[in-house]
Each structure stands twice: as structure tokens, then as C-alpha cells.
């Protein structure tokens, strides 16, 4: 998530400033990237808590309806039945939407592709140049603003593993807590 910060620029370095050597960035595979692993664990914990709350709500609604039916068959509440059906459908649809984030990252290396952003921010359409020079379309859905900013700023898309047409995989930025899903057409 992007948060604005207030900064102050100064014309020169302070007197006690010490110049540091340049640190060479080493791109590690996604399964060894501690920042990305911690980010994924936080997302998975949040999704599991959300599903647990949904299952608890569904269980409570079903229990209330069963108790009402056992006590008096004439007290069947269609509103509770409809609410239970709603929660069941919401849990199934939510699980289907979140199952990609719940499974582990594919093993492999980061692959860098040239990406020309075409449209959108929450759903980002791009033109991708494949290593053999061909161009095709890619769609990044539910994009983290930092990932969209990186694609717009660098015109590069980092993906986990090797890309091929028709595939859906993870896109991100090596060494940063930025991750999204990308589908290649």
C-alpha cells in the first residue's frame, strides 16, 4: 500500500553525513524472498480470518434456523434461510476468488518482460513483449497500486517463473511486498 510522506529537501549533506558504498541488488527466487514471503503470510492470515468469520456466521444462522424448526415447525423463518444461502454463496465465491493467493508461489526465478501499460489501475491492461520479440496482451487484476506504479514507471513487468500464452501467474517486484495476478492472452 502506498502512503504519502512529507519530506524536506536540503541543498547539501549535513556535516556528520557519511557516504555509503553502493549496495548491489541481488534478485533471489520468490520462494527465498523474505519480504515477499512475509507479505504473503499476512495476506493468507487475513483471508483465513475472513473465511473463519464467514463460516461462523453461516453456522450461527443455520443453528438458529434448526433450533427454531425443532421448537416449533411453524416458526420457519424464510429470511434466515435466505441469509444462510447468501453466506454460503458468498463463501464459495470468495474462496474461488482467493484460492490463487492461498496456494504457495510457484518455484522458479523472476522473469522480466517489457510491458507497455494500456489502461486501468485496479485492473491494468498491458502490451507485453515476449523474449522472442512478439507482442501480446496481458491483464493484471486487482493490482496493488505500487505494482501499477512500477509498471507505469519502468515499463517492465516482473513475473514469477516463465511466461507463456494463456497462462495465469504472479507478478510483483523482486525484494518488495508487491504481488498481483497476471493473465497472458
The string of pLDDT tens digits covering residues 93-114 is 888 777 777 777 777 788 888 8
The string of pLDDT tens digits covering residues 33-84 is 888 888 888 888 888 888 888 888 888 888 887 887 788 777 667 777 788 8
What the block records as the C-alpha cell of 171 is 507478478
For the four alpha carbons of 176, 139, 157 and 132, in that order, the dihedral sign comes to positive
With cell 504457495, the residue in question is: 104
What the block records as the C-alpha cell of 46 is 487475513
For residue 29, give the nearest of 164, 174, 168, 169 by alpha carbon.
174
Burial class (CB in 10 A: 0-12, 13-18, 19+), 64: middle
The rounded radius of gyration (Å) of the Cα atoms in the chain is: 23
Every domain of the chain and the residues it spans: 30-102, 110-184
Q: Which residue did the predictor score with more confidence, 171 or 162?
A: 171
H/E stretch holding 48 reads helix 34-71
Band of residue 2 on the pLDDT scale cut at 50, 70, 90:
low
User: What would the mean pLDDT of 161-170 be, rounded to a whole number?
Assistant: 80
User: What would the mean pLDDT of 152-179 be, rounded to a whole number?
Assistant: 83
In this prediction, residue 88 carries a pLDDT of 83
The string of pLDDT tens digits covering residues 10-24 is 888 888 888 888 877
54 neighbors 89 (Cβ within 8 angstroms) = no
Mean pLDDT (the chain, rounded): 81
Half-sphere exposure of 107 (CA within 13 A, CB side): 0
Amino acid at each position: 500500500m502506498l502512503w504519502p510522506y512529507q519530506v524536506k529537501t536540503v541543498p547539501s549533506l549535513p556535516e556528520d553525513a557519511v557516504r555509503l558504498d553502493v549496495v548491489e541488488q541481488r534478485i533471489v527466487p520468490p520462494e527465498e524472498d523474505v519480504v515477499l514471503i512475509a507479505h504473503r503470510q499476512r495476506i493468507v492470515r487475513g483471508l483465513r480470518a475472513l473465511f473463519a468469520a464467514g463460516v461462523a456466521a453461516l453456522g450461527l444462522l443455520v443453528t438458529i434456523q434448526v433450533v427454531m424448526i425443532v421448537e416449533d415447525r411453524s416458526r420457519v423463518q424464510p429470511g434466515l434461510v435466505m441469509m444462510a444461502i447468501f453466506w454460503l454463496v458468498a463463501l464459495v465465491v470468495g474462496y474461488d476468488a482467493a484460492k490463487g493467493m492461498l496456494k504457495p508461489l510457484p518455484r522458479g526465478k523472476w522473469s522480466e518482460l517489457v510491458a507497455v501499460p494500456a489502461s486501468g489501475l485496479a485492473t491494468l491492461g498491458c502490451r507485453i513483449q515476449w523474449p522472442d520479440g512478439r507482442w501480446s496482451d496481458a491483464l493484471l487484476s486487482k493490482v496493488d497500486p505500487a505494482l501499477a506504479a512500477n509498471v507505469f514507471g519502468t515499463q517492465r513487468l516482473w513475473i514469477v517463473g516463465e511466461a507463456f500464452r494463456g497462462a495465469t501467474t504472479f507478478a510483483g517486484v523482486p525484494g518488495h511486498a508487491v504481488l498481483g495476478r497476471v493473465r497472458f492472452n
